[in-house]
Structure 1
Amino acid sequence: MTTEYILRSLYRPGMDLSGMQPLQFKQTPQRVLLVLPTWVGDVVMATPFIRGLFERFPEAEITLLMNRHLYPLLEGSPWVERCEFWAPRKKTAEAKQQQRELLAKLRAQRFDLAVMLPNSLRSAWLCFRAGARRRVGFNRDGRGLLLTDRVPVPNRRKGGYEPLPLCDYFAVLANTLGMPHPGDGLTLYLTDDADAAVEQRLATEGVRPEQPLVVLCPGANFGASKCWFPERFAAVADQLVRRHDAAVVISPGPGEEPLAEAIVAAMSERSFLLMAPCLTLGELKSLIADADLLLGNDTGPRHFGRAFDTHRVTVFGPTEQRWTDTSHGNETIVKVEVPCGPCHKKVCPLEEQVCMTRVTVDSVTEACERELAAAL
């Protein structure tokens, strides 16, 4: 049976999630390196921590280290005055030179403190080689010897990890740094250039300003298992056009073009495919901020909708929703409970992916109509 519900955060302000006393600094750090996550959604869910870190060290020069293609996520914010970008993970001579140049830049800044949000050995190794005086991160994935301050993992259990909302997980590091719980209020900023580009794009495509704007993001970089079926997205979209005169705008990410084209081909009603080129991440923020409804899978753009309080319907399949739980409202989750899930496999190994096949067109359509009615 399909279940639908709104997520609520598990955290309580002021709770100590780590059991570790806050670090003591002889001198307040003046040069801080913050290593950001590598997934779109995780960066958005890190924004409460980022905001809290700037409040914790208001006089410090805080440098963000991130993947270059994720910079538009934070563009427009007051946090991007100092940024460095990961070099490509390739063995070419050019990539190796870029890696050396990045390391030299980081060493030259003589960081007093490096804070790692990712759990990767790679991030700890780079901060160690960069000579950061204090290196703070979770003590996992074999990187403990590279950290000066090893933070116990709060949700470790035998054989894996207990699901914990990512904002609460990052709050453990916040507690270690003497910060209050940053909360789970996701924050993104818009830019005038991206706003103007999206407005022009929609006008050119023929979207009428009076139409309810429904944005459909059907892909997921995680893997095919997260993606609901194109023909079912198409059936829901057709219903929204017929019943509500909705402008259904389909915005795929790079590599998701075939999926978006399959939805358009399966639809009977008109839709608007924003492809060739696809929107940038900055433009996608502007589009979702302006939308009346966002429909998609458990993927990065969903968190854009949270940040802008856009009404959302999210189809969940193989992933555990508790990892991304927040107190943001205006969201209906449509999912089914199955014996084999949540499995977090990128490709379903079974003959039938029941966590997705049992999510019906009717249940998603009903959820969309409720959220759309609340938005208008």
Structure 2
Amino acid sequence: MQAIPFPEEPERILLILPTWVGDVVMSTPFIRALFERFPQAEITLLMNRHLYSLLEGSPWVSHCEFWPPRNRTAAAKQQHRELLSRLRAKEFDLAVMLPNSLRSAWLAFRAGARRRVGFNRDGRGLLLTDRVAVPNRLNREYQPMPLCDYYAVLAAALGMDHPGDGLQLFLTEEDDTAVEQRLRAEGVKAEQPLVVLCPGANFGASKCWAPERFAAVADRLVTEYSAAVVISPGPGEEPLAEAIRDHMAQASVLLTEPCLSLGELKSLIADADLLLGNDTGPRHFGRAFDTPRVTVFGPTEQKWTDTSHGSETIVKVEVPCGPCHKKVCPLEEQVCMTRVTVDRVVEACRAELAAVL
């Protein structure tokens, strides 16, 4: 597409980030490219507050704003008014929206950004000054498209080359030290192969492989490799992680009191010899740090998250009802998950570990 003309280079830019952990990680090539495209501009990132530690350590977080809670309490309304006041005071020349939401376009409009760039979808076209055609819509349906390529269409509209799909995250010394101390306190030895299990999925229960199967795989990795198995769930996923520990015959480390922060989870995964989990946010941490990965796929379409990062084995089965993208399977048996066997996942883990051990 033809790039949007800028008679004058924007000096103040608002970049609205996605709200899902994995989507933010997959937006990092775009973020990096935007800073390179407008090196003299002051770029403010707007994100959910808990995602800050995801980008902490990067050169991109000098100017950040955070969404208020999504509720109708007086406190949340006051925080929203204060956010709008701060954004208006910055007098943005340009606002770029990575999310497709009406909410993001409405905020950019109310903040008074002079140019507002985003995909023309979900009824928000009138709020944009520069509407970018949706590249993957066909007959009112959205066709699977790698998210990095999707964001690259916005990049082209801003006169940027394709940012590529090299995901990038940064570590902090504080998080590295906290994780190292915690693992040593749990008895993990430096010479042991480190296998990290991230068994949850905020998307919904349909993405989660059975805890007893994760446990069976983990037991075999301990037996065969003397591996240290560390189970690291996100908040709310503690029961699932505890079920894996309870089903294991071998010892494991359960990080739930408290759960790791996103920053600490980055440090853990960056140091791991293998990351085993579902199609969920931490998988993309492994990509950013080139950690070998085995990922169990169920109801979701793999193409949405495709990148050229190596060192990953996808374990999935083709089923007539999938990929359905339903958060809860409506069938009596969720065959896309139950047909993924322990033996297949163990073989995938062996293949990934063979390259690093």
Q: Which of 209, 212, 219 is 2:200 aligned to? A: 219
Read off the aligned partner of 1:180 and give its amino acid letter: D
Gaps of 5+ in 1: 1-19
Q: 2:73 matched to 1:88?
A: no
Q: 2:320 matched to 1:320?
A: no
Q: Which of 136, 155, 164 is 1:155 aligned to? A: 136
Q: Distance in 1 between matches of 2:328 and 2:342?
A: 22
1:352 is displaced (CA, Å) by 0.4
Deviation beyond 4 Å, 4+ runs, structure 1: none
Partner of residue 50, structure 1: 31
Q: Deviations over 1:12-49 (max 9, x none)?
A: xxxxxxxx210101100000000000000000000000
Read off the aligned partner of 2:281 and give its amino acid letter: G
SS at match of 1:91: coil
What does residue range 329-348 of structure 1 map to in structure 2 within 5 Å?
329-348=310-329
Report the TM-score when normalising by structure 2.
1.00
Q: 2:288 matched to 1:307?
A: yes
1:275 is displaced (CA, Å) by 1.0
Q: 2:263 matched to 1:297?
A: no
1:373 is displaced (CA, Å) by 1.2
Q: 2:103 matched to 1:108?
A: no
SS at match of 2:316: strand
Q: Distance in 2 between matches of 1:279 and 1:199?
A: 12
1:159 is displaced (CA, Å) by 3.9
Q: Which of 337, 342, 353 is 1:361 aligned to? A: 342
Q: 2:230 matched to 1:259?
A: no
CA-atom RMSD in angstroms = 0.4
| Larger RCO, structures 1/2 (Cα 8 Å, 6+ apart) | 1
Read off the aligned partner of 1:225 and give its amino acid letter: S
Partner of residue 17, structure 1: none
1:132 is displaced (CA, Å) by 0.1
SS at match of 1:375: coil
Partner of residue 152, structure 2: 171
Read off the aligned partner of 2:334 and give its amino acid letter: Q
Q: Which of 166, 169, 184 is 2:165 aligned to? A: 184
Aligned length: 357
SS at match of 1:277: coil
1:160 is displaced (CA, Å) by 1.5
Partner of residue 16, structure 2: 35
Q: Distance in 2 between matches of 1:110 and 1:321?
A: 40
Gaps of 5+ in 2: none
SS at match of 2:45: strand
Q: 2:53 matched to 1:72?
A: yes
Q: Distance in 2 between matches of 1:159 and 1:52?
A: 30
Q: Deviations over 1:308-351 (max 9, x none)?
A: 00000000000000000000000000000000000000000000
Q: Distance in 1 between matches of 2:212 and 2:129?
A: 52
Q: Which of 115, 119, 125 is 1:144 aligned to? A: 125
1:213 is displaced (CA, Å) by 0.2
Read off the aligned partner of 1:287 and give its amino acid letter: L
Q: Distance in 1 between matches of 2:126 and 2:6?
A: 20
Q: Deviations over 1:126-147 (max 9, x none)?
A: 0000000000000000000000
